[in-house]
Every structure is written in structure tokens, then in C-alpha cells.
Amino acid sequence: MKAMTFEGPGQKSWSTVPDPKIQDPQDAIVRIDAVTICGTDLHILKGDVPEVTSGRILGHEAVGTVVEVGQSVSEVAVDDRVLVSCISGCGRCAYCRRGMYGQCLRGGGWVLGHLIDGVQAEYARIPFADHGLHKLPSSVSNEQALLLADILPTSYEVGVRNGRVEPGDVVAIVGAGPIGLAAALTARLYSPRTVVIIDPAESRLKRAREDFGADITIDPTTDDAQSVIHELTDGLGADVTIEAVGIPETFEQCVDLVRPGGHVANVGVHGKPATLHLESIWIKNLTITTGLVDTYSTPTLLRLLAEGRINTGGFVTHRFELDDFAKAYDVFSDAAGNDAVKVALSHG
Ligand SMILES: [Zn+2]
Ligand SMILES: [Zn+2]
């Protein structure tokens, strides 16, 4: 089969590799019907994730059709159309039993396209298939379901739920990439008073207002986010701030913008230390959370999507044939320049 492989920092290849085979009775083999590229894949390609070794098939966000199941798989069967979750879970270890599948101790967690071969391929082996695959109702398209593989549960669990968004809150989201936009969309489920998004790319701010329910957008190169938030909250600060970039400056900005007693929810993937100004925040009763998605919310989000309660129509901006990974990576690598949010690759 063909697959997109990591070939060392800065190098990737759409090449012929052996077909995946069942290795464990809990595995399933899935034919990939739709797949996308994540910001994390770009980090891997830069060489930021040293656990990913040369030859590894990339990708952890896909939708497909089950073509083979191991002996102990019981929840999915051949020909089922399924969402492939970015997180696998054994279901039995100490963390899985707490619903923290992202921290699975027995070969689960984020493994696809990381520690084992991923889904940017014609076929993929999915471990713990009963847990990591979700059967799709006919009312949800492949393209809609693709957004449930990672970005919607990540932004919802690690941003909105960890941030404890409540009705009437002012929620400030720093970063209007796919995760920030998904946080705006899923924060709406809790009826916040105002959703503010801060990002320097005007095209993304426009999308945030038009397609993702942001009430106020701020370009930090021309506007002062602090004074906008203060005006909006009678000087208190935001109830919840959500970090969706992953650099020290934006994390520190989230801590600056939150009110005493508020929540700072970090979603961004950080590569460098950020400064925590305890000398000024020790007195502010803040809650700061971090996290990797567990995907405990995926069944709920899938139901909301099937019933039209979440509109994901604004996410996929560029569509490609499944074998056109080179072009799709080119577009996504310069997402701001190409006005791209998510790219989707599928069979014509
Ligand atoms: Zn991802
Ligand atoms: Zn586990």
C-alpha cells in the first residue's frame, strides 16, 4: 500500500510500504476513506518529537471502513464505517479505569503516527479497536466525522471542560487555528456571554466571527487585548482563558487576561518553558490546567454532530485526493498564507 512516512527531520515520503496486519486479537485493520493533517504532524516533521523514528507512518485523524478484525474485537465488524480516534486505550489500566485514556499505561494513549504506524495511508492497523473506533451514524459525513478524531474532543475537553466554562462567562481564546476555533464552537454549548478570540491573522478572525461563533476578535498587533477584556468585564478580567497556540508569550497572556478566581486552560503543545509569574498571581486564586485529550467526550460530540447541534461546516477549507499528500502538506504547512484551517484528503 501507499503511506506517508517520516524520513527524518524535514523529510517525508508518499511511498510503498507493506500492508498492515493484525498483530493482536484486539486489533482491527481499517481502510482509510478520509484523513487530515494535524499541527502535531508538522511538529514531528520538524524533528520536535524525537520518539517518532524514521520510516514511521504519520497521522492520527481519520475515518475509514473496517476490513478485518482480530479475534477479540466485538464492538465493530467488517464493513462498518468508523471514526478512528487519535487516542487508543486498553480500557483496563489504572488510568483507563479513570477515563484518562490519553495516559493509558498498556500501549494506548496517543500512539498512532507517533509510537506505532498512523493513518496517513491506504490502510491502518488500529490497536484496542473496540475502544479506539466509533461506528458512525449515516447522518454524519466522513468529512464531519474527521473533526472528531482530535480537534473537537481536544478543544472541548482540554479547553472548555478543563476551563469550566459556565453560562454567562466571558471566554478569551488565544489562537484562532483549528483548536482555537473548535474551542470557540464547543464553548458555545455552555452559553457563555461573550467569546473573544485573539490572533494576528485577520482571515482567521473573520472565520472565527462568521463560522465559529466568536463575538469579538482581537488582532494583538493593532489592538490591546487587555483593555478590550477589561472594558468587557468591568475591569475584572476573563472568566476563562484558553491557550491554543503553544508558545510562552501566549500562555503568559492567558494568565494576564484571566480574572481572580478564573480558569486558565492550556491546550497548546509547548516546546519551551514559559514563565509563571507566581509573584503576582499567588494572590489571585487561579486554576491553571494542562492536558492531553482523553476522548471521553467523543460519543457525546458524535451525538451532538449527528443531531446538528454542532456546525462544523467551517473547518475544512481545502480538499485533496487521498494520494495527493505532497500538495496537502504544502498547503497546510503555510496555513495562514493559504487561508487554510483543516485540509481533508479522501477518495474523489
Ligand atoms: Zn491531531
Ligand atoms: Zn489503559
Give, in order, the Cα–Cα distances in Å from 264 to each of 185, 240, 259, 269: 18, 6, 10, 15
pLDDT per residue over 144-183, tens digit each? 999 999 999 999 999 999 999 999 999 999 999 999 999 9
Ligand found nearest the CA of 177: 1
Q: How far is the CA of 58 from the centre of ligand 1 (A)?
A: 11
Beta carbons within 8 Å of 33's beta carbon, 6+ residues apart: 62, 63, 64, 65, 81, 142, 346, 347
Predicted local confidence at residue 85, as pLDDT: 97
Provide the pLDDT confidence category of residue 53 given band limits of 50, 70 and 90. very high
Task: Give the span between the Cα atoms of 213 and 99, in whole angstroms.
Answer: 30
Residue 235 has pLDDT above 80, yes or no: yes
Q: How far is the CA of 86 from the centre of ligand 2 (A)?
A: 14
Beta carbons within 8 Å of 25's beta carbon, 6+ residues apart: 70, 71, 72, 73
Q: Average pLDDT over the chain, rounded to whole?
A: 96
307 C-beta neighbours (distance < 10 Å), count: 11
Q: How far is the CA of 96 from the centre of ligand 2 (A)?
A: 4
Average pLDDT over every residue of 48-77: 97
Ligand found nearest the CA of 332: 1
What pairing do the DSSP bridges indicate for beta strands 28-36 and 216-218? unpaired
Residue 122 has pLDDT above 90, yes or no: yes
Q: How far is the CA of 104 from the centre of ligand 2 (A)?
A: 4
Task: Give the span between the Cα atoms of 186 and 249, in whole angstroms.
Answer: 24
Predicted local confidence at residue 286, as pLDDT: 98
Q: How far is the CA of 40 from the centre of ligand 1 (A)?
A: 6
Q: How far is the CA of 206 from the centre of ligand 2 (A)?
A: 41
Q: Are 12 and 5 in contact (CB under 8 A)?
A: yes
Provide the pLDDT confidence category of residue 271 given band limits of 50, 70 and 90. confident
Q: How far is the CA of 2 from the centre of ligand 1 (A)?
A: 21
Q: How far is the CA of 187 from the centre of ligand 1 (A)?
A: 19
Ligand found nearest the CA of 152: 1
Q: How far is the CA of 109 from the centre of ligand 2 (A)?
A: 7
Give me the numbers of helices (H) and strands (E) for the chain, helices first please. Answer: 11, 15
Residue 219 has pLDDT above 90, yes or no: yes
Predicted local confidence at residue 142, as pLDDT: 97
Predicted local confidence at residue 21, as pLDDT: 98
Predicted local confidence at residue 178, as pLDDT: 96
The whole-model pTM stands at 0.96
Q: Are 242 and 265 in contact (CB under 8 A)?
A: yes
Q: How far is the CA of 214 from the centre of ligand 1 (A)?
A: 22
Give me 17's grid cell: 510500504
Q: How far is the CA of 92 from the centre of ligand 2 (A)?
A: 5
Average pLDDT over every residue of 227-247: 97
Give me 331's grid cell: 498547503
* Nearby residues for ligand 2 (ion, Cβ within 5 Å): 89-90, 93, 96, 104, 106, 108
Q: How far is the CA of 171 from the centre of ligand 2 (A)?
A: 33
Predicted local confidence at residue 246, as pLDDT: 93
Task: Give the span between the Cα atoms of 174 and 169, in whole angstroms.
Answer: 16
Give me 193's grid cell: 456571554
Predicted local confidence at residue 48, as pLDDT: 86
Q: How far is the CA of 44 from the centre of ligand 1 (A)?
A: 11
Predicted local confidence at residue 130, as pLDDT: 97
pLDDT per residue over 307-320, tens digit each? 999 999 999 999 99
Give me 305's grid cell: 454532530
Predicted local confidence at residue 336, as pLDDT: 86
CA 139 to chain centre: 22
- β-strand partners of 116: 112
pLDDT per residue over 68-111, tens digit each? 999 999 999 999 999 999 999 999 999 999 999 999 999 999 99
Q: How far is the CA of 91 from the centre of ligand 2 (A)?
A: 5
Q: How far is the CA of 157 from the centre of ligand 2 (A)?
A: 18
Average pLDDT over every residue of 14-35: 98
